[in-house]
Structure 1
Amino acid sequence: MTPAEISQYLGLALAVIALLGHAKGYFSSGEKDLTSRTEKVESKLVEHDRRIQAVEAELKHIPDRDTAHRLELTMEKISGRLDTLDERLKPIAATNARLQEFLLEQATK
């Protein structure tokens, strides 16, 4: 092999290497775009995960169905007691009204 043949083969090898480098750059440009999109999606995923964790932490403090039912029953019981108390206070209110009328009559005399 003469140096001219070697330089031809070497030139051909360098040209193939250059073409492969350009092909790699061309095909990996889409990969860079996908990498940036993937990073954005991952950051959104982390943000959503934090929000979900915050909501789950708050849901632990909210009463469940049975607790809400017990609260309703207790409120109904209190309402019944207030109605009974209202019935007990009616005679006192009537006495108070009669006493006020009596005092107003005494004040006009």
Structure 2
Amino acid sequence: MTFDIAVIGAWVAFILSVISLAGLIKSHFTGGTKENTEAIKELDSKHDKLDKRVQKVETELKHLPNKDDFTKLAVSFAEMKGDIKVMSHAAKSTERSTRRMEDFLLGGVKGKEKK
């Protein structure tokens, strides 16, 4: 069996070309890995910050009044409005009684002055 240097050289060149091509393809598809890793870390950082902000907002919202609280408040205001109307009516009655007594007392003084 004889080996021809030209044939061996052609095969070696072909194998090296295939290896080179495989390396080129690998580097093309994995070349952005470092950039992607950095981008993922940046997105994770932004996600963590956003998550903390959402937690703060949720915590604050727990302390705010809800729809049921406002309904109770509206009912309380309606009750207070009714109570104020009753007190206003009672105050008017008291005012009328006071004026009658005042008129009576002042009328009695005026009557004594005429005599």
Q: TM-score range by the shorter chain?
A: 0.5 to 0.7
- Cα distance in 2 for residues equivalent to 1:38 and 1:98: 88
- Cα distance in 2 for residues equivalent to 1:49 and 1:80: 47
Residue 65 of structure 1 and its aligned partner are, at CA, apart by 2.7
TM-score by length of 2: 0.56
How is 1:1-109 mapped onto 2 (pairs within 5 angstroms)?
A: 19=27, 20=30, 23-56=32-65, 60=69, 63-94=72-103, 95=105
Distance 1:31 1:91, change over 3 A: same
In structure 1, list runs of 5 or more residues that go unmatched: none
- Cα distance in 1 for residues equivalent to 2:107 and 2:46: 80
In structure 2, list runs of 5 or more residues that go unmatched: 1-11
- Cα distance in 1 for residues equivalent to 2:107 and 2:55: 69
Shifted more, 64-73 versus 84-93: the winner is 64-73
SS at match of 1:56: coil
Q: What is the one-letter code of the residue matched to 2:74? A: R
TM-score by length of 1: 0.59
Q: What is the one-letter code of the residue matched to 2:37? A: S
Residue 97 of structure 1 and its aligned partner are, at CA, apart by 9.3
Distance 1:83 1:31, change over 3 A: same
Distance 1:87 1:25, change over 3 A: same
The sequence identity of aligned pairs, in percent, is 7
